[in-house]
C-alpha cells in the first residue's frame, strides 16, 4: 500500500478509486484472517455471481475459512 499511495490518487475516476478501495479491503481482510488471498478472491467472485443476499454472511473471511480450512496460509509477509 505504501508504494502505490500517490499513484492511487490518479485512478482515472471516482468509481476507479472506489473499486480499488474495495479490492484492497478484501485482500487485507483475507490476509488478516490468514487466508490465501488469491484462493479467497477467486472463490468469492464465483460465489457472488450465484449468491442470494442472506448467504453473503457465509462469504465473510472468518466464516469462509471454517468451510475451507485447506486455504489457511502457512506463511506470512
Question: 26 pLDDT exceeds 70?
Answer: yes
Give pLDDT, residue 58. 84
**Separation between Cα atoms, residue 51 and residue 2, nearest integer Å:** 34
When pLDDT is cut at 50, 70 and 90, the band that residue 52 belongs to is low
Q: Do the Cβ atoms of 59 and 29 come closer than 8 Å?
A: no
Q: How far is CA 72 from the centre of its chain?
A: 14
Give pLDDT, residue 11. 67
Which position has the higher pLDDT, 9 or 45?
45
Give the Å distances, CA to CA, from 26 to 50, 52: 19, 19
Average pLDDT, the chain: 80
Place of cell 468451510: 67
- Half-sphere exposure (Cβ direction) of 53: Cα atoms closer than 13 Å: 0
Give pLDDT, residue 51. 65
Amino acid at each position: 500500500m505504501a508504494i502505490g499511495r500517490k499513484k492511487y490518487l490518479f485512478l482515472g475516476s471516482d468509481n476507479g478509486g472506489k473499486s480499488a478501495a474495495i479490492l484492497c479491503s478484501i485482500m487485507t481482510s483475507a490476509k488478516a484472517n490468514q487466508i490465501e488471498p488469491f484462493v479467497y478472491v477467486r472463490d468469492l467472485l464465483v460465489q457472488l455471481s450465484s449468491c442470494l443476499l442472506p448467504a453473503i454472511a457465509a462469504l465473510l473471511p472468518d466464516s469462509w475459512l471454517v468451510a475451507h480450512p485447506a486455504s489457511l496460509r502457512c506463511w506470512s509477509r
